[in-house]
Amino acid sequence: MAISIPSRQLFIDGEWKVPLLNNRFPIINPATEDIIGHIPAATKEDVDLAVDAAKRAFSHNKGKDWSSAPGSVRARYLRAIASKITEKKDELGKLEAIDCGKPLDEALADLDDVIGCFNYYAELAEGLDAKQNAPVSLPMETFKSYVLKEPIGVVALITPWNYPLLMATWKVAPALAAGCTAILKPSELASVTCLELAEICREVGLPPGVLNIVTGLGNEAGAPLSSHPDVDKISFTGSSATGSRIMTAAAQLTKPVSLELGGKSPIIVFEDVDLDKTAEWTIFGCFFTNGQICSATSRLIVHESIATEFVNRLVQWAKNIKISDPFEEGCRLGPIVSEGQYKKVLNCISTAKSEGATILIGGSRPEHLKKGYFVEPTIITDVTTSMQIWREEVFGPVLCVKTFSTEEEAIELANDTHYGLGSAVMSKDLERCERISKVRLILDYHKNCKTKGFYVN
């Protein structure tokens, strides 16, 4: 499919700006390995300009700046952005699919979430005005107290590639709604739709400097942003290793950070489940978006009495997943985002093999696809808890399996991880689901916990 990638620059102070060093890097279509365009590569000096623009837009013009504009004014821009995205949804969906390799229908579904998210925060921004100056009653009448909700300032928003525009929106929309000004640094592996968001901001007349978008490499653009003295807060989503670096940089300047990091989430399957429905959930939990989801349930912990039958059904499901170019009708699994990630996923699989695990299905490139970073849906058994495949996030279509005999053993296996994030329990016994979900709640609290789910079958 011929899709033309718009040629863009950095978006700073409401204008397109050529990076000061005039560097660009290639955009590679992961399904074909072809170079389909180029992305501007920002460096520290560009980041400085973007932060300066955001700082001026935040509060330079008392009374006219973004931070003191009524929520209803900010909401108008957010709604205008949502409506432009709605207009351009098909085009943006294609750009997302070709850039990061997700099936076109998934990319279009992400855009519905993007639109919903901008509208949602527009509503919150409108609601903010009415909540300002709410009185707080105090025991002593001499003192008056009230609540004023204020934006924190200039925020750095650093995002990954698995949901490029959606992850960016989850940060941009609330930041702008609250009255912050922002610098968005999307992933170098998928920046195309974030640059289109810049164009949309230009088209709706968002005041200059309110949102700046600098594309570039992590160490060249991300690092100077996270250590910039004029950034008041950092919001980061990405790998645990980068999160730790960002937290270290922020600590030097005692700057607040929000981190959304990696995971190796468990799914516990009890013996009383409906096998077919649970197999479908398990496949969805691990293989949706090619397993490139932070909360992918990639560790299956299944009761020993149903393990053989259940895993057989998973294998049947995995065989029927259509793996193809994201633009092909019915595609369920596209390519991995980049050559680097592709090699990392294959490497994790071959390490598992060399450590004694069994690759039950998958494990390599599908035979019918000679080019592109495609990996078959992979199910691995005979896994021990010390194996890398059990312990570390793969971020690819790889499910590893262990069995249990008692509830206590299942919980212990599930919690034996240095990650937090998601988890799932599958059982018809609601009390059991609630009991287990509470155990994880306590343990995960200390591990950057995000979601906990349980499904009753």
Residues labelled catalytic:
260
Residue 185 contacts ligand NAD per CB under 6 A: yes
Binding piece for ligand NAD, criterion CB under 6 A, among 160-168, 271-279, 320-328, 374-382: 160-168
Among positions 393, 396, 403, 449, the unique one binding ligand NAD when judged by CB under 6 A: 393
Structure tokens at 455: 């499904």
Q: Is the CB of 226 or the CB of 417 nearer to ligand NAD?
A: 226
Residue 395 contacts ligand NAD per CB under 6 A: yes
Nearest to 119 by CA among 88, 87, 81: 81
Q: Is the CB of 190 or the CB of 314 nearer to ligand NAD?
A: 190
Which phi-psi region, left, alpha or beta, contains residue 358 (left: φ > 0; alpha: ψ -120 to 50)?
Answer: beta
22, amino acid identity: N
Q: Is the CB of 311 or the CB of 337 nearer to ligand NAD?
A: 337
Q: For the chain, give the secondary structure using H, E and C.
A: CCCCCCCCCEEECCEEECCCCCCEEEEECCCCCCEEEEEECCCHHHHHHHHHHHHHHHHCCCCCCCCCCCHHHHHHHHHHHHHHHHHCHHHHHHHHHHHHCCCHHHHHHHHHHHHHHHHHHHHHHHHHHHHCCEECCCCCCCCCCEECCCCCCEEEEECCCCCHHHHHHHHHHHHHHHCCEEEEECCCCCCHHHHHHHHHHHHCCCCCCCEEECCCCHHHHHHHHHCCCCCCEEEEECCHHHHHHHHHHHHHCCCCEEEECCCCCEEEECCCCCHHHHHHHHHHHHHHHHHCCCCCCCEEEEECCCHHHHHHHHHHHHHCCCECCCCCCCCCECCCCCHHHHHHHHHHHHHHHHCCCEEEECCCCCCCCCCCCCCCCEEEECCCCCCHHHHCCCCCCEEEEEEECCHHHHHHHHHCCCCCCCCEEEECCHHHHHHHHHHHHHHHCCCCCCCCCCEEC
Binding piece for ligand NAD, criterion CB under 6 A, among 258-266, 308-316, 347-355, 357-365: 258-266
Least distance (Å) from ligand NAD to the CB of residue 259?
8
Least distance (Å) from ligand NAD to the CB of residue 291?
10
Q: Is the CB of 207 or the CB of 224 nearer to ligand NAD?
A: 224
Least distance (Å) from ligand NAD to the CB of residue 382?
26
Whole-number Å distance between alpha carbons of 128 and 9? 34
Q: Is the CB of 9 or the CB of 242 nearer to ligand NAD?
A: 242
Among positions 5, 31, 107, 158, the unique one binding ligand NAD when judged by CB under 6 A: 158
Least distance (Å) from ligand NAD to the CB of residue 192?
14
Q: Is the CB of 181 or the CB of 242 nearer to ligand NAD?
A: 242
Least distance (Å) from ligand NAD to the CB of residue 285?
14
Residue 191 contacts ligand NAD per CB under 6 A: no
Residue 237 contacts ligand NAD per CB under 6 A: yes
Among positions 239, 351, 388, 457, the unique one binding ligand NAD when judged by CB under 6 A: 239
Residue 417 contacts ligand NAD per CB under 6 A: no
Residue 262 contacts ligand NAD per CB under 6 A: yes
Q: How far is CA 210 from CA 15, 32, 272, in A?
A: 11, 37, 54
Residue 223 contacts ligand NAD per CB under 6 A: yes
Nearest to 249 by CA among 277, 270, 278, 229: 229
Residue 294 contacts ligand NAD per CB under 6 A: yes
Residue 193 contacts ligand NAD per CB under 6 A: no
Whole-number Å distance between alpha carbons of 360 and 419? 26
Q: Is the CB of 65 or the CB of 96 nearer to ligand NAD?
A: 96
Among positions 151, 160, 164, 326, the unique one binding ligand NAD when judged by CB under 6 A: 160
Least distance (Å) from ligand NAD to the CB of residue 214?
10
Least distance (Å) from ligand NAD to the CB of residue 174?
14
Residue 256 CA to chain centroid, in angstroms?
Answer: 20
Among positions 11, 77, 121, 161, the unique one binding ligand NAD when judged by CB under 6 A: 161
Among positions 40, 222, 285, 396, the unique one binding ligand NAD when judged by CB under 6 A: 222
Whole-number Å distance between alpha carbons of 268 and 77? 44
Residue 348 contacts ligand NAD per CB under 6 A: no
Binding piece for ligand NAD, criterion CB under 6 A, among 25-33, 90-98, 257-265, 276-284: 257-265
Residue 188 contacts ligand NAD per CB under 6 A: yes
Q: Is the CB of 190 or the CB of 359 nearer to ligand NAD?
A: 190
Residue 196 contacts ligand NAD per CB under 6 A: no
What residues line the site for ligand NAD (CB under 6 A)?
A: 158-162, 185-188, 218-219, 222-223, 226, 237-239, 242, 245-246, 260-263, 294, 393, 395, 450
